[in-house]
């Protein structure tokens, strides 16, 4: 379900500016202190979570990470909607989780509406390098998404998906 929201309110602009600054500080110096500040932004963060440098998000408080999640370099999460990653997820370099969208109609797009749609990623999922997942997608437990794939529809548990758009390749 899409939820319309206004990202240009003073409150959300200020929140994004603060979160972006924490992300920039972590990117420049991925120290334990900066990582701790980054994790404190999140709605939930499990134990033994590793986040490599180059992590960016908009709000942080809409992101929930399970235990033992590994997020490789240059991950971008546009968290207009809730973004949930289950336990033991592996997120490859340059992955984008995009839980926000805009109007496709050019006239409506001038109104600058944003639409949030949640992203849910199950347990023990591996997202290969450069994967893009759009809002509204659910990825089932134990799934693998091949490098460079664009995921526009739900992913069945225990399957390999790949391509643009991502398609079911085989049972794992």
- Least Cα distance to 93 among 23, 40, 26, 148 occurs for 148
Total residues found in the chain within this entry:
172
| pLDDT tens-digit series, residues 13-61 | 999 999 999 999 999 999 999 999 999 999 999 999 999 999 999 999 9
CA distance 143 to 135: 18
CA distance 131 to 94: 7
Superfamily name with CATH number, domain 3-171: Hexapeptide repeat proteins (2.160.10.10)
Using DSSP's 3-state secondary structure scheme, residue 155 falls into strand
Give the catalytic positions in this structure.
102
Instruction: Read off the pTM.
Output: 0.96
Q: Are 117 and 2 in contact (CB under 8 A)?
A: yes
């Amino acid at each position: 379900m899409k939820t319309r929201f206004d990202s240009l309110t003073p409150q959300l602009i200020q929140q994004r500016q603060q979160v972006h600054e924490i992300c920039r500080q972590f990117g420049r110096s991925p120290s334990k202190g900066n990582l701790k500040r980054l994790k404190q932004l999140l709605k939930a963060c499990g134990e033994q979570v590793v986040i490599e440098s180059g992590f960016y998000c908009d709000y942080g408080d809409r992101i929930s990470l399970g235990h033992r999640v590994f997020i490789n370099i240059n991950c971008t999460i546009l968290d207009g909607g809730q973004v949930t990653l289950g336990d033991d997820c592996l997120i490859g370099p340059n992955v984008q989780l995009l839980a926000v969208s805009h109007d496709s109609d050019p006239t409506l797009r001038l109104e600058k509406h944003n639409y949030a749609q949640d992203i849910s990623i199950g347990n023990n999922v591996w997202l290969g390098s450069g994967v893009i997942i759009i809002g509204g997608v659910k990825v089932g437990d134990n799934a693998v998404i091949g490098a460079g794939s664009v995921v526009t529809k739900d992913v069945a548990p225990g399957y390999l998906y790949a391509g643009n758009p991502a398609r079911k390749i085989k049972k794992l």
